Chains A and B, each alone.
Chain A
Amino acid sequence: MERKNAVKGVLWLLTGMALVLAVSRFSRGLGATTNLSDSQPWGFWISFDVISGVALAAGGFVMAAIVYIFRIEKFKGFVRAAVLTAFLGYIAVAIGLAFDLGLPWNIWHPMIYWQYRSVLFEVAMCVMLYLTVLGLEFAPVALEHKLARYRILQTIYRVLKTLTIPLVILGIMLSTLHQSSLGSLFVIMPYRVHPLWYSPGLMLPIQFFVSAVALGFMMVILEHYISAWIYKHKPRTDLLASLSIPAAGFILLYGAFRVGDLMSRGILPGAIDGSWQSWLFIFELLVSVGVPVLIVALPKLRKSGSGLFTAALFTVLGMILYRINISLVTMARWPGTSYFPSMVEIMVSVGIIAGLALVFMYFVENLQVFEETMKQGEPRELETAEEVLARTEEGRRPPRGVVTGTVSRFMERWFLNWEPFQKPKFFATTRTWFGNPLHDGIRRYSMLLVVAVAVTAAILPENAIFGFKYEPTPVAPARVQISDQGEMLLIDGNRNGEFVLMNHDTHKERNGGMDGCVNCHHMNFPDSQATACAACHADMFLPSSAFDHDRHQRHHDGNKGCILCHPKDKNPDNAKSCAACHQEMFPGVAETERVNFMASSYQDAMHGLCETCHQEQAVERNQPELGLCSQCHPALE
């Protein structure tokens, strides 16, 4: 299999997974699909997709500035790819945001309902405008395609070409604003952001902007190496090495701002005090500043492809880490709560990137995105059968090395030679291909998509399928204790092993002696002297069914027994009443009409029994302490 097709296959798989998760998120809501909470309202989607995503798309304005404003034209070959990456990156941001918003159909509201005192408003407006500018910057590339040969489109093409410089300058202005304003978002949270990351005033926006510029350079390098690997181009390490020098400059500037800011506010000792935040801070600076600057500073490493790739990768990871740290990891949370993104959150983020990577590959293969490597207008010569076969053989030669060789031979033998994946055969005499239709790209990728959809649907967590459900909080059955005060009932009110005392004798007295038993013991199960409240009130907070359908079904030999209770239709409304079989359970109660009634929750039942009387008595006897929770919950004292 060709490398780019393998990559596309993986991307289709990931996209398919995200499609299922999208259905789940929009039909079941955020509570059912994410791990977000009142304590952590902004999660992975905001930190990674939006705040990091915008910065990862900074390559567009950085490269445009270098080539069109500073007129360093040897880098012209990188501009189109950088602008396309930026354009798709901002679309990814918009899609990620739509997943995260509670009311995504109101995403256009900032355009109408202005609230210019909100930083987020400024970010939203700039991102929307800049997305338009990027679209206009990239449109000429699309209009060069032979399908766009209509006169009107060509007129637009010429207009856009003449507008290049104003568009580039406008793009840089908008980028400066929103790249820095993403940092200003956190200025309003001085109590939530950790002091090692928080800084009042203009420091946060400056750090965000400078790191975004550095990230822009390094993203161009990283993206060039990745597409060179996929399309088997020779990477232009010579050019990229000279691009990495200003990048390192900006990284150093960023590092200086980070450390200098801490020093000027006198909290630099906090960075080495051994708390986990200080280790994280050091690790982050090492990844984002230390390693890349070191590599770029050494000419030998800088001029080698792998060295430069490593530097770019570390910068990108480090700057993403910075953004995730400030917006997620070090953010203050309510004590006892924690956050880790759910499978849905991670897979959706990955899927959005995968889907847009497919769009990127489509553009690269159909438009002139890499100006230097693809020549326009040259008709592709027809290959002879021998050439095709030679090329195919070349592509199929197993890689060397023990592990990769074994794996690829295994794949070759058991997987690729499996009929749907077999290569079609070329018949030179008729110049036609014969073979399994599954080899056709669309069919192969749609099959992968279907597989992805099926697999994801199968492994979805329960909540993501059936909607939000509270986790049941079980209670322990009541215990009876005989003490010198009489019979005391111990009730685990807080379901933490701390029992509430209930004087059984006084309750019996107050309920009218032996006649009042049924008030509490309304269901006398066989051999049960004092049915635990939890037998019916099965959850601390949720109402629950007192009727155990499964148990009855098992007792009556499974489906054979249905008819014993359901003479006609099988629904709860026409089922036999409990008392029809269990008279002994309802002393003094003639008939219980329905079996599907919901017993009130444990807390409601208990509080309903005690609280009303307690509060009445508190007023009547003028003893307010009777109404206090601590009257029955001594732990609250």
Chain B
Amino acid sequence: MKSILTDVTKCIGCNLCVTACVEENGLGEHVPDWRRMNDGLGSNRWCSVLSVKGGRYVRKQCRHCLEAACVSACIVGALKKTPEGPVVYDPKLCMGCRYCMMACPYGIPRYNWEDVIHYIRKCTFCYDNRIEKGLEPACTEACPVEATIYGEREALLEEARRRIKDHPDRYINHIWGEREVGGTNVLYLSDVPLTMLGWAPKLSEQPPPELTWGVLKKVPFKFVGMGVLMGSIYWITGRRRQVALDEADRRIQQAKDNQAAGEPADDEKEQS
């Protein structure tokens, strides 16, 4: 799996990764607007550099989760996890329901609200234009200080562990993205807590698609169970009615027989 490792302590906040991303993907002008979260991301900004407390700069981009919530949420499979790792989007399938935007634990997918026809937009890991040709993404290539580097996920995790081991005083002993939400392909090393990247300060290690699947796998049983339940209630109520009708018929028949025999009917007998 192809991955990116961003070392927050090395970033100088020069925004060259953003510029490279804009040029590579032809993203055009970006005007901050109240419709966009004020984290610099938008339908035409797929990565941004946040200035955080402690004088650090944190690059925000799609995390390309190993088990992505957006991929499992997408109703038509427009978002796909490629074997190389990137999560990519097919605008031809999309119907614009925005469930992926709701599902993403990092709030990454964005919408081009300013247009008339709306698509989901997010970082593609430069999948179509670079990864498939064996190149590295534009952002990692542009970084002048190698704060954000590209490689195989295992190799990058090794590298991250090595850095923490070599400089235990420099980093918080945690690799962001190693385990959260089931692991992500974009990893972070930092000396400040990166709680601002997700919807919650602490994300659980359980991948969100598992939460849904736990409910969804019970659906066939619910479906069949309800059918069987309703069918049997229908049969029982029908049977009870039939018994009641038979009983009434029998009584009427008996009354008629009794009358024919010149004896008083059951009711009259009871009264007397």
Interface residues in chain A, defined as those with a beta carbon under 8 Å from any beta carbon in chain B: 27-31, 36-39, 41-42, 65, 68-71, 100-104, 106-107, 109-110, 113-122, 124, 165, 168-170, 172-173, 176-177, 180-181, 184-185, 187-192, 200-202, 204-205, 332, 334, 336-337, 467-468, 470-471, 473, 541-542, 615, 624, 627-630, 636-637
Contacts and interface: CB of A to CB of B under 8 A. Distances in A.
Contact of B96 (A103, A120, A121, A471): A103
A110 to B, nearest CB: 5
Contacts of B115: 29, 31, 468
Contact of A188 (B98, B112, B211, B241): B211
A37 B214 CA distance: 30
A464 to B, nearest CB: 12
A173 B38 CA distance: 45
Given A30-B113, A467-B116, A173 B212 contact: no
A102 B98 contact: yes
Contacts of A627: 12, 14
Contacts of A30: 111, 113, 118
Given A31-B35, A42-B98, A117-B213, A69 B107 contact: no
Given A118-B72, A118-B99, A468 B113 contact: yes
A173 B75 contact: no
B237 to A, nearest CB: 4
Nearest to B98: A41
A176 B226 contact: yes
Nearest to B99: A120
Interface string B28-40: 0011111111110
Given A42-B98, A188-B209, A629-B13, 18 more contacts: A37-B36, A38-B37, A38-B113, A41-B101, A109-B76, A113-B76, A113-B77, A115-B76, A118-B72, A119-B212, A119-B215, A121-B75, A177-B223, A190-B200, A191-B203, A202-B218, A471-B33, A628-B13
B209 A117 contact: yes
Contacts, number: 220
A42 B114 CA distance: 16
Contacts of A107: 95
Contacts of A470: 31, 33, 114
B95 A109 contact: yes
A187 B209 CA distance: 9
Interface in B134-163: 145
A187 B14 contact: no
B31 to A, nearest CB: 4
Contacts of B35: 31, 36-38
Interface magnitude class on chain B: 35 or more
A218 B177 CA distance: 48
27 contacts: A27-B116, A29-B113, A29-B114, A29-B117, A36-B35, A38-B35, A38-B36, A38-B107, A39-B37, A103-B118, A113-B78, A115-B75, A115-B77, A118-B73, A118-B74, A120-B73, A120-B99, A165-B234, A177-B223, A188-B211, A191-B199, A191-B200, A334-B39, A467-B116, A471-B34, A624-B12, A630-B13
B8 to A, nearest CB: 15
Nearest to A29: B116
B111 A38 contact: yes
B168 interface: no
B251 to A, nearest CB: 21
Interface string B226-261: 110011011001100100000000000000000000
Q: Is the interface of B mostly helix, strand, loop or mixed?
A: loop
B218 A176 contact: no
B27 interface: no
A635 to B, nearest CB: 10
Contacts of B33: 470-471
B119 interface: yes
Contacts of B85: none
A628 B116 CA distance: 37
Contact of B215 (A101, A102, A173, A201): A201
Contact of B211 (A118, A190, A336): A190
A334 B55 contact: no
Interface centre among B101, B214, B234 (most CB of A within 10 A): B234
Contacts of B145: 624
A117 B215 contact: no
Contacts of A101: 95-97
Interface string B92-134: 0111111101110101001111111111000000000000000
B92 to A, nearest CB: 9
B82 interface: no
A103 B103 contact: no
A187 B208 CA distance: 8
Contact of A180 (B39, B73, B76, B222): B222
B209 A110 contact: no
A36 B97 CA distance: 13
B98 to A, nearest CB: 4
B219 interface: yes
Contacts of A630: 13
Nearest to B90: A113
A169 B231 contact: yes
B204 A190 contact: yes
Contacts of A41: 98, 101-102, 111
Contacts of A187: 211-212, 214-215
A39 B241 CA distance: 57
A28 B113 CA distance: 10
Nearest to B232: A69
B212 A117 contact: yes
Contact of A120 (B75, B113, B208, B226): B75
Contacts of A205: 215
B237 A192 contact: no
A532 B41 CA distance: 30
Contact of A184 (B32, B208, B212): B212
A70 B98 CA distance: 40
Contacts of A106: 76, 93-96
Contact of A191 (B38, B51, B105, B238): B105
